[in-house]
Structure 1
Amino acid sequence: MEIKDIHKVYFIGIGGIGMSALARYFKFIGKEVAGYDKTKTPLTNELSDAGISVHYVDDLSLVPTGFLNKDHTLVVYTPAVPTSHSEYQYFAQQGFDIKKRSEVLGLITKDSFCFAVAGTHGKTTTSSILAHLLKETGTPLTAFLGGISEDFNSNFLLEGTDFSVVEADEFDRSFLRLSPNVACVTSMDADHLDIYGDAEELRKSFIDFTNRLKPGGKLFVRNGLPLEGITYGIEDGSDYCIRNIKVEHGTYIFDLGTPDQDFYGVKFNKPGRHNLLNGLVAFAMAIQAGSPPYRLVEALSSFKGVQRRFSYRIKNEQFVFIDDYAHHPTEIDAVFEAIEEMHPNKKVLAIFQPHLFTRTRDFGDDFAKSLSRFKNVVLLDIYPAREEPIDGINSEWLLEKMTNVNKKILKKEELISEIKSQDPEVLVAMGAGDIGLEVTKIKNLLDYAH
């Protein structure tokens, strides 16, 4: 089914960050849109406010009648929804056109000049920076983001259809549905082993992704990864390279080298060397759209960030509260190093909510090592998402592996009193589950104290 043949689009799991962006897109181009999700969230509320019908019980009678006609109706689902879901079962048995989110992204972007951002970490920040750079330089683009850009206050941007920016997600091998003109790979750390089995299978999948580039396409690869492409890095002689880094008042100032010219005194405001790398590859990719490099340099300095990616919720001389999506040991390391660089010699308290039983099991030792770098850590219970519990794998099991002196497990309702009793100078909340909903509560209560 081509986009022009679709009249109605029904989403199973419409509240997901990527799914909701697609829902916005179809609504914007004039299609009728409705969907199901199991939980009401700020995202689903925004979809409802935009005129999209959303319900929260798996009940076919709640699906608007017009969407039960398979002619001209596309059904989109996320792999996080089990195929035992009764609405999914109905649509499958009745022969509806059913596609995964990744297939729909491929359908939408196939006729555009497509930028795809791949990697086990950094996809959302890199794609958000890229979308910001292209928008600021007047490029007609559509962007589907895996987080809420603080520059657009949205996970979706429609400035035109000539160019598209998408995240190429390795989960469930989704990125193999895309055929980009320009792609990057930011990282290839082992993850999603419930899907791949081992790190070697994950590596092969990334190679398969790079082979999906359109003829004449370009691939940007972080220096050190086992892939052939245009390299980027920090102080390492890559094709695109950042040099002479300084930090002044929380802002990075550095020199940026490209194969054609160098730029001096470039500014970037997102903490962390990992974010510098994300900004660098977004800059390199944006050049491929014909954007003037000097204007891209200016746009780098105005990038605000992505919600829950090292987001400052409170920041003053006495107290800093940081919110981050980190849910993998490598990401926790990156958060720790960014705090050390931007807020040295401060008393730090880290709150972490593990995400998925399988990920906690597969990387238990690595999680313990990364979390033990923080002197003070609070663990929440594991957020299960799509999974059933695994016997013996819980936050108590992870806590035992950690070497911190000050470590404990708490319930969410105990967090405020614990934060007040520890009185940290820097508080960081990390995790990909529902800890993000707690962050607003914590901020509202701590605002009064600071």
Structure 2
Amino acid sequence: MWDSRPRLSGMPLHLTAGGGYATLRFLGATSCDEYTPPRWSSDMAVGLQAKSLTQGTDAVGAVDWNRPGRAHLVGIGGSGMSALARVLHQRGWLLSGSDVNLDRLAERLPPRTLLHAGHAAAHVPPEVDVVVHSDAVARDNAELAEAQSRGIATLTYFDVAGRLMEGRHGLAVAGTHGKSTTTAMAGAILVDAGLDPTMLCGAAPLEQPDGGRAGRGTAVLVEACEYRANFLKLQPFHAVILGIEPDHFDCYPALAHVEEAFGRFATRVPHDGLLLAHADCAAAQRVTASASCRVETFGLSDGCDWLARPRAVDRGCYEFDLICRDETLCAIRLPMPGRHNMLNALAAAALARHQGVDPPQIARSLGRFRGLRRRLECVGTRAGVTRIDDFAHHPTELDAALGTVRQMYPQQRIFCVFQPHQTSRTARLLDELAASLHNGLRPESVVQRPNRLWITDIYRAREGLPAAGEVTASHLADRVRRRGLDAAPLHEMDEVARDVAARIEPGDVLLTVGAGDIRRVLDQVDSLTRDRE
């Protein structure tokens, strides 16, 4: 179960707003009381009914998303953008796109997608109906400037997601944690039940190239991200709020600002719609209080409208009863490990039940759902080492990932390589990250071989070049050591991989964790230990 308590670190920050963004900078180690969040405005979350870029012309409204056209996707390698490419391709659209890194990208994208390395005005095709870009693309991108100069409709990923939902039966899954998994679980149930939904999910189910599909049914299911309040571009009929915590500090300086955005999202569900809210998260309950629609609760404690009551657990995989208002509907056995995934499955089951799916079908679908890439993904075993890759980059997610891996492999030593994500997040949650790493990796007994920890350099998503005085991986490692857990003094990724390869032994578990490019460590360790097989 996700811990819904607010997390605030003792690292004060300097915030300056400019161009619609909030910039957070680590200043030093003093008490949290010295940090006072500035007054928040919608400019800090660009998606609050504002466009992150001026649209090309009135041609935006003329784009008919129900008919095939030509689209150019800037930042096509992102997980959401590649899912959108799949949906448009299956609807008959001709696609082109660009990204900085094309490594193995062609293997994941739809066939006949024209790819360009890097960004240049010449990449925009002579004839194109719309240019779509991800949030990771800078405002001064040459392709976006070219599209606007030519009067081409220019939209964000979530602009398009909102338009795909218009006039359809919109379903949205929101929350700080678990959005991708819950969306994919709900989608799998709806597909198995024959409802043939259209889906946009920000992570790829195992054995699928991405999280997109274009269905012929009326349902459009979207993972609703709170970053820059992008979910306010959606108009769902049924929505899920899994839980709310402080995060995305480059646009939400404090929890109250996150709650304001979620509150506006809740009001976008029409009066005859439905909100499913996490009962054990006080913030989720607060933001749904003003909703005009019916609100039902779900959780792992008694008193919820929808309850998951555990029956058994086997190496981290849970079996539970699905209960609705004291009536047991079915028993569900999850092949995907993690107590947090029992909550995700509960939310997906409740959403699917409201689409008319029978409980036995829900149980069958969830019983076959093996998981997503980079969500406690077991990559395999090589040279006797079990390799697991996970997306966790927030303290709550680290708690869940590390706790689950210890359930799965209670007698094995864990080699954990963690890549912090963004300096703003690392600075604000420095103590909480250190606590999660310490608590998740400390040995259960004095006779157990100690687990090992490496912390790589921070992945600077959307943050530009490092600045003097910022928090670093070394600061986080020091905080972990103060709690009594050893952390390696190495932070450069290649050095970390070599050190791991030199120390790891058959029977160990190698866990890479982070939202950046940390999976590179798995590949490097594989290469360095290949001769041991």
Q: Give the TM-score category using the shorter length.
A: over 0.9
Aligned counterparts of 1:280 and 1:441: Cα–Cα separation in 2: 37
Is contact 2:383-2:532 (8 Å) kept? no
Q: 1:391 aligns with which of 453, 457, 468?
A: 468
Question: Is the alpha carbon distance of 1:445 and 1:161 closer, same or farther for their aligned partners in structure 2, counting shifts above 3 Å?
Answer: farther
Q: What amino acid is aligned across from residue 25 of structure 1 in structure 2?
A: V
What is the CA–CA distance in structure 2 between the aligned matches of 1:29 and 1:254, rounded to whole Å?
A: 38
Measured in 1, the distance between the counterparts of 2:508 and 2:238 equals: 42
Q: Secondary structure at the match of 2:454?
A: strand
Aligned partner letter, 2:93: K
CA distances 1:244-291 after superposition (whole Å, capped 9, x unpaired):
331135532222211373045421111111111001100000011111
Native 8 Å contact 1:132 1:151 kept in 2: no
User: Where in structure 2 are the equivalents of 1:124-273 lying within 5 Å?
Assistant: 124-150=180-206, 152-225=208-281, 226=283, 227=285, 228=288, 229-248=295-314, 250-259=316-325, 261-263=327-329, 265-273=331-339
Q: Residues 314 and 443 of structure 1 are in contact (CA less than 8 Å); yes or no, is this contact kept in structure 2?
A: no
Where does structure 1 lack aligned partners over 5 or more consecutive residues?
A: 68-72
C-alpha contact 1:11 1:75 (8 A) present in aligned 2: yes
Return the letter of the residue paired with 1:411: E
Partner of 2:158: 102
Aligned residues: 444
Q: Aligned runs of 1:353-392 on 2, under 5 Å? A: 353-373=419-439, 374-375=441-442, 376-388=452-464, 389-392=466-469
Once the two structures are TM-superposed, the CA of residue 241 in structure 1 deviates from its matched residue by 1.0
Q: Is the 8 A contact 1:151 1:303 kept in 2?
A: no
Distance, in Å, in 2 between the alignment partners of 1:24 and 1:231 is 33
Structure 2 distance, partners of 1:5, 1:138, is 23
5 Å matches for 1:343-358? 343-358=409-424
Aligned to 1:406: 486
Asked whether the equivalents of residues 15 and 44 of structure 1 are also in contact (C-alpha less than 8 Å), the reply is: no
CA distance in 2, matches of 1:21, 1:191: 24
* Separation (CA, whole Å) in 1 of partners of 2:521 and 2:216: 36
Equivalence map 1:60-99=2 (5 Å): 60-67=121-128, 73-99=129-155
Say which is worse superposed, 263-272 or 187-196, in terms of deviation: 263-272
Over the residues paired in the alignment, what is the CA RMSD in angstroms? 2.2
Matched, 1:427 2:514: no
Aligned to 2:446: none
Check the 8 A contact 2:88/2:214 in 1, yes or no. no
TM-score by length of 1: 0.92
Report the counterpart of residue 22 of structure 2 in structure 1: none
TM-score under structure 2 length normalisation: 0.78
How much does 1:410 deviate? 3.6
The residue type paired with residue 170 of structure 1 is E
Percent identity of paired positions between Structure 1 and Structure 2? 30
Cross-structure match for 1:286: 352
Alpha-carbon distance in structure 2 between the residues aligned to 1:42 and 1:230: 43
Give the distance between the partners of 1:114 and 1:282, measured in 2 at CA. 15
Residue aligned with 2:184, SS: helix
Aligned amino acid, residue 63 of structure 1: V
Which stretch shifts more, 332-341 or 297-306? 332-341
Q: Could you give the per-residue CA deviations for residues 153-175 of structure 1, whole angstroms, max 9, x where no partner exists? A: 43212332411111100011100
- Partner residue of 1:30? 92
Alignment correspondent of 1:327? 393
